[in-house]
Amino acid sequence: MSPTLLPDHTCWSFDDDRAFDRHAREFLRNGLCCGEQVWYVPGPRSGGIAEWLRGTSAKRERSVRILDPATAYPADGAIDPDAQTAAYVTATEQALSAGFTGLRVVADATALVRTAAHLDAFARYEFAIGRYMRIAPLRALCVFDRSALGDDAMAQLACLHPRSNTAGVSFGLHAGATPRTAVLSGELDVSMTGLLAGAIERAGLRPVRGEVVIHAEALRYIDHHCLRVLHAYAERHAIVVVLRTVLSTVSVMAELLGLLRIRVEMLP
Amino acid sequence: MTAANLHEALCYDSDDHLLAVVVPFLLGGVAAGEPTVVSLGPRNAALVRAALPALVGVTFLAEGAVYARPATVIREYRQMLRAHVAAGAGQIRIIGELPPEIFGATWDWWARYESAVNHAFQGFPLWSMCAYDTRITPGPVLADVMRTHPATAAPGGRHLPSGTYTDPAVFLMEPRQPLADPLQADEPHADLKNPNGTATREAVRDAACGILAAPSADELLMVVSEAVTNAHRHGRGAVRVRIWTGADRVLAAISDEGPGPQNPFAGLLPPRDVTRGGLGLWLTHLFSDHAVLDRRPDGFTIRLTAGNPHWC
């Protein structure tokens, strides 16, 4: 996978049951059609899919699993990002061993992000699982009830998914191929500073020789506010952020502002 | 003569007149062991070179390349002055000359530059002269020159105070009635009411497509986006963005109903405290080919050009 090609990992913010129902059915049906095992972890408002799946599972029982949320996730709602990632790695490998072409998951995770601490842990997990999804046939539709969580929490989750139906989030930060890399895309202006600051911390990037690398080839715009957010992150961790971009203004801006912990690599 | 800080105009009407002031000025600097710098256009640089003794120790900056954007010039001169002071200079002399093409459509922001440097270079032991050829400089430009330079230099080592010199804090806040770009006579390519950054940038990309290439296209995207952010954050009332396109340039006007920036030096100088704003307007000036601040009773408009701004 190229540094910037992103996995099938979608954040679905729903307050309309029917729109979600249509999208989730199509997503799961596509998985079944291409020989994947599909998992469904319903929430209180997303039960219609389960009924539909039970109908299909009569024919393809091994292909479909409908999981009780209490089975799929910790009962107290607190996710351990590493443990949860490991669980889906194991599940994907088991699906492959059983002859499926991959694993496809629709999970209503609303109950796992109801407190700030739980949201933080889950957001870290979302970034981490994204790295595995770059190399493994694991696809996911992460479902959240917007009416229960609010727009801010939705935005914090949406910016960590390559795809999202959440309005008002203009950028994405996703895992790169290695623990020291991330992929930054979209547009970053002053309205995104808070989201970016949270997302880059939750990425948990691990520097190599004091550097992390952000592949920003698909970044269409970044302003000085967000560039300073990245620099502040680099200062907090005493590292250098290598920003790979096609935007000619970025290196000049970094120089003008004296952002010594950002090294811009211009791409043709 | 030793001056702590002096910003003089040199309004000359012949080569002899120019040399009668410039040559003693430069030789005096060299004789005093002061960093002595020439930033003249190709013709006058050659004239001065020929009039100076060989190996005299005057530094000639790249001819014509210095004066591209006012905020950039101020930044680069300040860097140079800091370096000279750090190296022990007690006095620095510079003779400069703006290229004649900027006496047209873009003069307004160079007039702001000439006024702002009275403040921007304070604290440096700089004696600078700005040369204007009165045979080709328009009258309104010369009037601004007299209002932005505390004195004029004349042959014989004379320094004549300017009777119309105006405090930069006053000059820079005056409504300047900038020339309208002819593109503005047509309907704009885009006319957006209260757009957010994303919608603004989409409109800019659409307008610039096929007219501007990188880096100009990237620069326009940045400056318009910054201006819209400023209008929403610091302006008042409704924000309007209009974009016009021409064969060689794209023009964007961003308006709000407020009075505009209240710091007279905003845009030309970096803010001392970036947390209090002003950085975006400075960047806007650094990355634009022309930035006009238009203050009117009914609101403030910043007009930004990417591409060739010299339509007259």
Same domain, A28 and A129: yes
Contact (CB<8Å) B225/A223: yes
pLDDT score at B1: 47
User: Within a domain: residue A25?
Assistant: yes
Same domain, A134 and A189: no
Beta carbons of A186 and A220 less than 8 angstroms apart: yes
User: Within a domain: residue A4?
Assistant: no
Closest chain A residue to B282, measured at CA: A256
Q: Which residue's entry shows tokens 């390559």?
A: A162
Q: What number of H helices and E strands is found in chain A?
A: 10, 12
Q: How far off is chain A from B216, nearest CA to CA, in Å?
A: 9
Same domain, A150 and A219: no
Contact (CB<8Å) A170/B198: yes
pLDDT digits 0-9 by tens, A150-184: 999 999 999 999 999 988 999 999 999 999 999 99
pLDDT score at B251: 98
**Pick among 3.40.50.970, 3.40.50.620, 3.40.50.300, 3.20.20.70: CATH of B6-171:** 3.40.50.300
- Chain A CB contacts of B218 under 8 Å are 247-249
Angle at alpha carbon of residue A46, lines to A41 and A51, rounded to 5°:
80
Which one of A223, A249, A257 has the shortest CB-CB distance to B215? A249
pLDDT score at B65: 62
pLDDT score at B67: 80
**Window 142-201 of A, Cβ < 8 Å to B:** 170, 187, 189-191
Q: Which region holds residue B113: left if phi is over 0, alpha if psi is between -120 and 50, else beta?
A: alpha
User: Within a domain: residue A33?
Assistant: yes
Which one of A220, A221, A256 has the shortest CB-CB distance to B286? A256
Q: Is the pLDDT of residue A58 over 60?
A: no
Angle at alpha carbon of residue B203, lines to B210 and B297, rounded to 5°:
120
Q: Which of A167, A196, A220 is the last residue of a domain?
A: A167
- Interface membership of B276 toward A (CB under 8 Å): no
Mean pLDDT for the stretch of residues A29-52: 88
* CATH superfamily membership of B182-307: Histidine kinase-like ATPase, C-terminal domain (3.30.565.10)
User: Within a domain: residue A225?
Assistant: yes
The confidence band for A76, taking pLDDT boundaries of 50, 70 and 90, is confident
Query: For residue A227, which amino acid is it?
Result: L
Same domain, A141 and A180: no
Mean pLDDT for the stretch of residues A236-256: 96
Contact (CB<8Å) A190/B229: yes
Angle at alpha carbon of residue B169, lines to B164 and B173, rounded to 5°:
95
Best probe of the B interface among A166, A169, A224, A225, by most B CBs < 10 A, is A224
Same domain, A84 and A128: yes
User: Within a domain: residue A1?
Assistant: no
User: Within a domain: residue A28?
Assistant: yes
- Interface membership of A17 toward B (CB under 8 Å): no
Contact (CB<8Å) B222/A249: yes
CATH number of the domain within which A144 lies: 3.40.50.300
Q: Which of A144, A167, A190 is the last residue of a domain?
A: A167
Q: With pLDDT > 90 as the criterion, what percentage of chain A qualifies? A: 80
**Window 63-102 of B, Cβ < 8 Å to A:** 75
CATH number of the domain within which A234 lies: 3.30.750.24
ipTM of the complex: 0.89
- Interface membership of A223 toward B (CB under 8 Å): yes
pLDDT score at A136: 95
Same domain, A140 and A186: no
Rounded-to-integer distance, Cα B293 and Cα B243, Å: 16
Same domain, A29 and A88: yes
Same domain, A122 and A14: yes
Which residues of chain B are modeled with pLDDT < 50? 1
In order, the DSSP letters of B54-70 are: TT--PEEPPTTTS-S-H
pLDDT score at A3: 54
Same domain, A55 and A134: yes
- Interface membership of B310 toward A (CB under 8 Å): no
Mean pLDDT for the stretch of residues A11-35: 90
Closest chain A residue to B226, measured at CA: A223
Q: How far off is chain A from B70, nearest CA to CA, in Å?
A: 15
User: Within a domain: residue A238?
Assistant: yes
Same domain, A130 and A30: yes
Strands A103-108, A37-41: pairing is: parallel
Give me the number of domains chain A comprises.
2
pLDDT score at B311: 85
Residue A205 lies in domain: 173-266
Rounded-to-integer distance, Cα B12 and Cα A191, Å: 52
Strands B299-307, B290-296: pairing is: antiparallel
Contact (CB<8Å) B225/A221: yes
What are the residue boundaries of the structural domains of chain B, listed by start?
Answer: 6-171, 182-307
Closest chain A residue to B283, measured at CA: A253
pLDDT digits 0-9 by tens, B282-300: 999 999 999 999 999 999 9
- Interface membership of A23 toward B (CB under 8 Å): no
pLDDT score at A59: 61
Q: Which of A167, A193, A225 is the last residue of a domain?
A: A167
Which one of B214, B233, B279 has the shortest CB-CB distance to A224? B279
Best probe of the B interface among A170, A222, A248, by most B CBs < 10 A, is A248
Best probe of the B interface among A187, A220, A221, A229, by most B CBs < 10 A, is A221
Same domain, A39 and A65: yes
pLDDT score at B66: 67
Contact (CB<8Å) B280/A224: yes
